[in-house]
Copies of this chain bind each other. A is one copy, B any other.
Amino acid sequence: IVKREVTRVITPGTIIEENMLDENNRFSILVDYDEKDEEFLIVLFDFSTGELYIDRFDISQNELLDMIISNNYSQVLLSFKLRYLKNEIKTLSSKIYTEVLEEWYFSSNYEEHIKESYDILTLGHLPFDQEELKSLDAVLKYLELTQFKKIKHLNIPKKLKSKEFMYIDINTLNNLNIVSNENRGKSVYDILRKTKTPMGHRKLKDFLSRPLIDEKQINQRLDLVEVFFENNFLSEEIKEYLSSIKDIDRIISRISLLKSTPKDLIALKDSLTQVPYIKEALETNEKTQGFFSNVNIRTDLKQKIEKHIFDEPSNEPGDGKVIKKGISKELDEYRSLITDIDTFLENIQKREKEKTGITTLKLGRNKIYGFYIEISKAQSKEVPDEYIRKQTLTNTERFITEELRELEKKVIIAEEKVKKIEKTIFLNFIKDLSDSVKDLKTISEKISYLDVIRSFAEISKTNRYTRPYFVKGNKAKIESSRHPVVEKFVDNFTQNDFEIEDKNFIVLTGPNMSGKSTYLRQIGILSILAQAGCFVPAKKAHIPLYDRVFTRIGAKDDIVTGKSTFLVEMMEMSTILNQATERSLVLLDEVGRGTSTLDGISVAWAISEYLFQILKSNTIFATHYTELTMLSEIYDNVITKRVQVKETKEGVLFLHKIENGVSDNSYGIEVARLAGFPSEIVDRAKEVLENLSDKVDLENRLKKM
């Protein structure tokens, strides 16, 4: 690893080496600020795969910081206008690598520069305005400067939140544990990951975190999933082929940056070998037969690599085990000189033995001192004059001759030459490949899409998922739904229905651990899966097409920045109240808890009224404030649900079944007992509760609301 000149600058966001990449943390972000529209401009990019997204966010600076910290970006680039944020980010997370890009990165020649980088003639067809293009160009310039070369492998940028996709905020992604996230256990993505290619894994994450909102597009995906769902043989065949496909995206990146290794090329060859088989297999079914039409599957490239590169090459060119015979005469000559050396040595040994009559004479090669003739000490006095003593060991002596010295020089020269020639040929080969990048990107895109669809089908089959159907309006009827992750880790997962007729505000009560949170989450996950184009874990699902899924679950505390749990909770809640529509799904778990009892209830009460009277979103509100269930006695569109509980001699049994009604108190004490509290505390708590429980008075007051 001794490099004397800087050939590239490595930052967390510009790593391309497979073993250094962190799959959970592959995107970098550039943030700029549009003063006119008072919005943040954001460019997200993964340098190793070339993925790139641009968008505007009308959010506060705190929300921006929250977004940066929660998303765990590998690197943050700040526009000079946002220079002051650098320290704030450092304070919040010392791990994030942040750089400020000076004004000239966003300079006036951006249009020309972008056209040149993407090799396109006009920018008119891109859905980006001038400010967005400037930010894009700043990223391109930054990458060029770190790589010391033009960047050619980036994808044409896409809108991050486009009208095609449902925007799921990072809190909801985390709350529902959609994609994997450190220390959160298995995610929905982990369960669904039957994809076989690295690009497929990434595409699956993308599908799950950006579900569609257009019914036609969703049904296109579902139709294709259905083909594989019903045609197990085709699915298994395609799976087999996909399993041999490597990370084409990253190989492409390394090709464009001239950083490919010989093994990259073999991986590319092996991948390309599979594509014709896949194409052929898909042509056997009329619904999939056009999948690869208009795609050049580049069988020529495969052949070219086969001709030039050894099937099992070394990690780096230079030792003669990368470039095949017949490509360079010079290389072949020097290479054979090295391989012939053993025969040479054998001949010399035989000849010298005969000549001198020394029976213990042996030829050898020492890594440091070179070739030598070894003779036992007993016979060492018999050596001819031309032998030069070199080394004395315990029982033997080592000699060298002029002939051996010459031979060694030849070998050293040959090794040096092989190194240099092979490196040059290899580099030129990579340079030639750069022209194929566009075609390879198209192939990779097709493969990853297919991989996800097939994966959806496989998981839907194995886990008995069912195709979802979308209804107009906000009514819903889901039979026997399950939580796709939790059902994998418990025996006999309890299935639950979810039905919305007229009453679309559900107050859900029940003790902790009884399955309230699981139920809440599974209803959200089910809608996201459906709109991502996957079947869903239920017996039957007729559901609305949501514009957004909102969640307010759990809490985090942030002592240094001075935001308490309750403020964070209220800020998230405020976002929901300001953005939800009657086409949204809102999932609330324990909202209002971070303050004293009475004003907590008051806030929760007022939020509820606003949700069902003004916003009219489909809502589930799981709460320990049993007081909130009073709402259903006053308002028509509110219904109460609870989790079934059975009291037995040994204690309380949680049945995980959701039913109509309001939950009873006192299970908290039961949990304390389970957790191992000294029994005198448990008994005393029961006594206290009994004295408090006469709550007729409170209820009367609430009914008057």
Contact = CB atoms under 8 A, between A and B. Distances in A.
Interface of A: 1-2, 69, 91-95, 177, 180, 182-183, 185-186, 190, 314-316, 318-319, 367-369, 409, 412-413, 416, 420-421, 423-424, 485-486, 489-490, 509, 511-513, 517-518, 521, 553-555, 557-567, 570-571, 573-574, 577-578, 590, 592-603, 605-607, 609-610, 614, 624-627, 663, 665-669, 671-672, 674-678, 680-682, 684-686, 688-689, 691-695, 697-698, 701-702, 704-705
Pairs of residues from A and B, 10 with the lowest C-beta to C-beta distance, nearest first: A595-B668, A570-B675, A599-B668, A606-B685, A602-B689, A512-B566, A606-B684, A185-B560, A602-B688, A512-B564
Given A420-B368, A559-B517, A566-B512, A685 B594 contact: no
B605 A625 contact: no
Contact of A606 (B512, B681, B702): B681
A94 B190 contact: yes
A517 B564 contact: yes
Nearest to A689: B602
A676 B678 CA distance: 44
Contacts of A561: 185, 489
B574 A185 contact: no
Contact of A624 (B512, B596, B626): B596
B2 A319 contact: yes
Contacts of A671: 566-567, 570, 595
B669 A577 contact: no
A675 B574 CA distance: 6
A619 to B, nearest CB: 14
Contacts of A509: 596
B602 A681 contact: no
A286 B436 CA distance: 76
A143 to B, nearest CB: 22
Contact of A599 (B1, B599, B689): B689
Nearest to A369: B420
A606 B559 contact: no
A70 to B, nearest CB: 9
Contacts of A702: 691-692
A626 B560 CA distance: 26
A555 B592 CA distance: 15
A599 B669 CA distance: 6
Given A368-B420, A671-B567, A562 B513 contact: yes
A2 B319 CA distance: 10
A1 B486 CA distance: 44
Contacts of A692: 598, 601-602, 698, 701-702
Given A412-B413, A596-B625, 7 more contacts: A2-B319, A185-B559, A485-B560, A486-B559, A578-B678, A595-B668, A605-B684
